[in-house]
Amino acid sequence: MSEKKTIIGTHISKQFDQELEDIRERVLQMGGLVEEQFGRVMTALMDGDADQAALVAAEDYKINQFEMEIDEECVLILARRQPTASDLRLVVAVTKCIRDLERIGDETERMARMIQNSIEIESPENYYKGFLAAGESIRKLLQSTLDCFARMDVMSAVKQMREAYIIDREFHSMTKQLVDRMKKDPESITSALDMMWATRCLEKVGDHCVNILENVVYSVKGQDVRHQHLDEVEETVKQS
């Protein structure tokens, strides 16, 4: 329990706990929306549904709104409650996580716009098979990341970081395949480039998930594990 709470007393402490709980709840709501938007883009691609993709792109502002509101709430908590120790770390971690969530929203919007341009392909579920499989891996990673945040589960966070690393390697071979396709069939350059940008978007979503997972570790353990090797991160997490 932080010094602040002890000084102010139980009643206000409870209010403060409630405020922190509200912030966490809001982050999860925002995360839910981000996840939903991402899922809708993948479905739009599979169904060749340009209208659906346009709708997703048009709704990105809701995610931006969430970020700005939560950010403001965090600054208010810092100013009013002046949290210390783990409470402070939670608020700091939240301000960073929501930025990553907002960026995931941006990447999703970008994919939605690309899909709108390249939707006129017959049997998209075959054409986009590899991309959709990677998209499904990233969707699961995003879901698990939000789950780690909800439960502040550092062991799962490290597990998901490893998962992200494995998925990330897939992207290199996907990009290579697209380059080969372009070289063999210059007619396909425009559509292959769209797929390449979209693949890069998926990759970025994965990176943002890792950032969020790192912030879960920071919030719980008080250790900044960015730029650390995964084995080191695992060691940090195992230390009580």
DSSP assignment of the chain equals --HHHHHH-HHHHHHHHHHHHHHHHHHHHHHHHHHHHHHHHHHHHHHT-HHHHHHHHHTHHHHHHHHHHHHHHHHHHHHHH---HHHHHHHHHHHHHHHHHHHHHHHHHHHHHHHHHT---SSHHHHTHHHHHHHHHHHHHHHHHHHHHHHT-HHHHHHHHHHHHHHHHHHHHHHHHHHHHHHH-GGGHHHHHHHHHHHHHHHHHHHHHHHHHHHHHHHHH----TT--HHHHHHHHH--
92 near a second copy, rule: CB under 8 A: yes
Nearest to 106 by CA among 200, 43, 190, 229: 200
Binding letters toward a second copy, positions 93-132, x by CB under 8 A: --xx--x---------------------------------
Residues 13-72, interacting with a second copy (CB under 8 A): 61, 64, 68, 71-72
159 near a second copy, rule: CB under 8 A: no
Query: Which range touches a second copy (CB under 8 A), out of 10-18, 25-33, 40-48, 91-99?
Result: 91-99
227 near a second copy, rule: CB under 8 A: yes
236 near a second copy, rule: CB under 8 A: no
85 near a second copy, rule: CB under 8 A: yes
Candidates 224, 231, 232, 235: give the one binding a second copy (CB under 8 A): 224
5 near a second copy, rule: CB under 8 A: no
Query: Which range touches a second copy (CB under 8 A), out of 43-51, 131-139, 182-190, 231-239?
Result: 182-190
Task: Give least dist CB 184 to a second copy, A.
Answer: 9
What is the contact surface with a second copy in residues (CB under 8 A)? Answer: 61, 64, 68, 71-72, 75, 78-79, 82, 84-85, 88-89, 92, 95-96, 99, 179, 182-183, 186, 189-190, 193, 196, 224, 226-227
